Structure 1
Amino acid sequence: MAESGGVGIIADTSLQRHAIRMLLLEAGYPVIATLATEGCTTGALEDARVSLWVVDLEDENNREFLLESLPDLSRAPVLYGLGKAPARNSTDYSRWQRRLLTKLKALIPVTPKTKADPPKGQGKVLPWPLKPVSRQRTRHRPADEVWVLGASLGGPEAVKVFLDSLPEDLPVAFIYAQHIDRAFSQVLAATIARHSSFDVVTADEGQQLHQGEVLLAPVEQVIDIDDNRRVRLLSRGWSGPYSPSIDEVMALTRLAWPVSGAIIFSGMGEDGLVEAGNYVQEGLPVWTQSLDNAVSEVMPGAIQTAGFSSFSGTPEQLAQQLVNRIARQAAARREECPA
């Protein structure tokens, strides 16, 4: 267990706060704070003793407030969307308990002394080294190069800093696959778009992905990309234990855009590992967030251990690597076909 920190709980019902608190105490976790939403003051959220926040909110307004506030006020990662605690004598309780404790055990042993602070705030915008192209021109061009951004726990903070760091005229688009509860998906879109020059869009039937856009993969419904590179909404859910499936998103992107790549950020599990191998076989780049910078190193670590990651860095370093790569490609094309 972490010796220099513990867990903070935020829930908007007293029964849920009590259920989570009792489970943590019984498992031996130190509980630093148990807060209702009205108790989420700046001072409480900035408490340095909290190494992890467990958040479960039923009210949509409360969810939106905390998702926007926590990344700016707290350096601790956040677990949310656990679902209402079942009665302790029910068979569902053991599954709820096991799911929560499994996630906690992967995180709480890492203390602030040995783990770098997760990224927060607005990144410094990198310069585009070639002649700038106006935003109006780039925003109406179909994307020829599309990168997958894959993430789970700790991902929204890292992806936000990555996107904040990119110049607005970068000729690229992204598909962002984030493991998250469906109730938080709209708030996630608003949060990562807050300081970025990229437009965050949700999936609609028949839409085309343009340069300067980040397509947020839906949680509850599978998407596909047809031969005309248009989004199709399918009538089934994502395969496997994660929604959306990073592996599936990487596969459909690889098939639709031969010029593509993937960046795997902080997260738990090994989603994306299978497709990372396919990317490498086809000569497509796979990059990862550095392990000492990630809130949860499991997901990027699995890809690094398999030897599939050709570059690793902080979100800012990943942004710089992408800018440099696309600039080199653009410069090479101009040399081949001078105006």
Structure 2
Amino acid sequence: MHKNPVVGLIHIGEVQTSAQFLINQLKTSGYQVKQYSLDEIDEIDGGIKTFILNLFDNDLNLDALIRLLDENDANIIFNDARISNELVGWNKNRWLRHVLHKIDQANDILPKDSAGKTDDASAVDLSTFGIKSVWILGASIGGPESLLKFLSEFEGDEQVLFIIVQHMDSEFVSMMEKQLAKNNKIAVKLAQSGAAVEAGQAILVPVDEDIVINSNGKLAVKDVNPKRMYTPCIDDVCFSMLENLSKVNMAVFSGMAKDGIRGATNVFENGGRVITQSAESCVVSAIAEEIRSMNMSMFDGDPTGMAQYIKENLN
């Protein structure tokens, strides 16, 4: 009798990079994983009731394997490794959720909004992971250029975690990650389920998912508010992170929208610092201007000055 649910993973062809990601995520979700190659059919554990066939070489004959699994009444899940190897960010997260749902329908295919309100994800203390402060970076039109200048001012060893919420469409997500990573100081990574948060890192929030930081310092994703007007939504991320971490700070960059004003208000009223990019250094300063008019901005300056302010106030 297996202590934990066991999933068999059979590699059809060479072991692929996406398979290792899948194995790590299965273990994080409480499953044991037993791996086999197509040459190890005789060694397959007949007690395993779910098998994932990770297909990379479609020319191999699977008849004997399928017959064996069918005789054992096993649930067979086919995965095209050529496709999953290319997935990134929110697409990879969704692929993972679909796989988990096929293993057991009790695994939500779309996490509920309340997923971020569990005991494991509320009031998480990131100081145990070397992170002294968290800054949400909200931006819209003109944001990428400003964010790149801002991130370039850091050394990369500061005890700060950045969460980037940049308005964009889904087709630009990968491009945005690569563009912001050109700062060469702060590692910019698109949020991915199971990834560990680190000081000196910037997490790029996906378009179609919100993020959660669990007490073990690893990221999870949850479904977004379906009524949001912007993708991703700055206000929603602020609310989620305040529930998740109790206290966060916010830097507002160039942008023309109302999204971010309620989020900044929530951050300010919960004791966080709010700073803004100056009008003369913005492409459009509508969001920052509204926050300044509400007397919530504790510092106003260009991206370089904003970075210097944060470095001077890390403690």
Question: Taking structure 2 as the reference length, what is the TM-score of the superposition?
Answer: 0.56
* Counterpart Cα distance in 2 of 1:177 and 1:273: 13
Q: Is the 8 A contact 2:277 2:306 kept in 1?
A: yes
User: Which structure's CA Rg is the greater one?
Assistant: 2
Q: Tell me the equivalent position of 2:207.
A: 219
* Counterpart Cα distance in 1 of 2:285 and 2:275: 14
The one of 142, 148, 156 equivalent to 1:160 is: 148
* Counterpart Cα distance in 1 of 2:269 and 2:145: 30
Shift of residue 316, structure 1, vs aligned partner: 0.3
Q: Tell me the equivalent position of 2:196.
A: 208
2:200 maps to 1:179 = no
Distance 1:260 1:237, change over 3 A: closer
1:157-204 alpha-carbon deviations (Å, 9 max, x no partner): 000000001122111111100001111111111111113311111111
* Counterpart Cα distance in 1 of 2:153 and 2:185: 9
| Amino acid aligned to 1:231 | L
Q: Is the 8 A contact 2:247 2:271 kept in 1?
A: no
2:303 maps to 1:315 = yes
| Amino acid aligned to 1:169 | D
Match of 2:279, SS state, is coil
Distance 1:191 1:203, change over 3 A: same
Distance 1:224 1:141, change over 3 A: closer
Q: Tell me the equivalent position of 1:39.
A: none
Shift of residue 236, structure 1, vs aligned partner: 4.2
* Counterpart Cα distance in 2 of 1:271 and 1:237: 14
Query: In the TM superposition, what are the counterparts of 1:20-31 in structure 2 within 5 Å?
Result: none
* Counterpart Cα distance in 1 of 2:255 and 2:226: 18
* Counterpart Cα distance in 1 of 2:308 and 2:192: 31
* Counterpart Cα distance in 2 of 1:293 and 1:261: 21
Q: Tell me the equivalent position of 2:131.
A: 143
Distance 1:298 1:238, change over 3 A: farther
Q: What are the ranges of 5 or more consecutive residues in structure 2 without an aligned counterpart? A: 1-127
* Counterpart Cα distance in 1 of 2:290 and 2:149: 22
* Counterpart Cα distance in 2 of 1:228 and 1:251: 21
Shift of residue 259, structure 1, vs aligned partner: 4.7
Shift of residue 254, structure 1, vs aligned partner: 2.4
Shift of residue 141, structure 1, vs aligned partner: 4.0
Shift of residue 232, structure 1, vs aligned partner: 2.0
RMSD, aligned α-carbons: 1.9
Q: Tell me the equivalent position of 1:230.
A: 218
Q: Tell me the equivalent position of 2:177.
A: 189
* Counterpart Cα distance in 2 of 1:222 and 1:255: 13
Match of 1:148, SS state, is strand
2:283 maps to 1:295 = yes
Match of 1:147, SS state, is strand
Aligned length: 188
Shift of residue 215, structure 1, vs aligned partner: 0.4
The one of 231, 245, 254 equivalent to 2:242 is: 254
Shift of residue 142, structure 1, vs aligned partner: 5.0
Distance 1:196 1:255, change over 3 A: farther
Q: Is the 8 A contact 1:286 1:310 kept in 2?
A: yes
Q: What are the ranges of 5 or more consecutive residues in structure 1 without an aligned counterpart? A: 1-139, 330-339
Shift of residue 248, structure 1, vs aligned partner: 1.3
Q: Give the fraction of aligned pairs with identical amino acids, expressed as a percent.
A: 30
Question: Taking structure 1 as the reference length, what is the TM-score of the superposition?
Answer: 0.52
After TM superposition, where is structure 1 displaced by more than 6 Å over at least 4 residues in a row? none
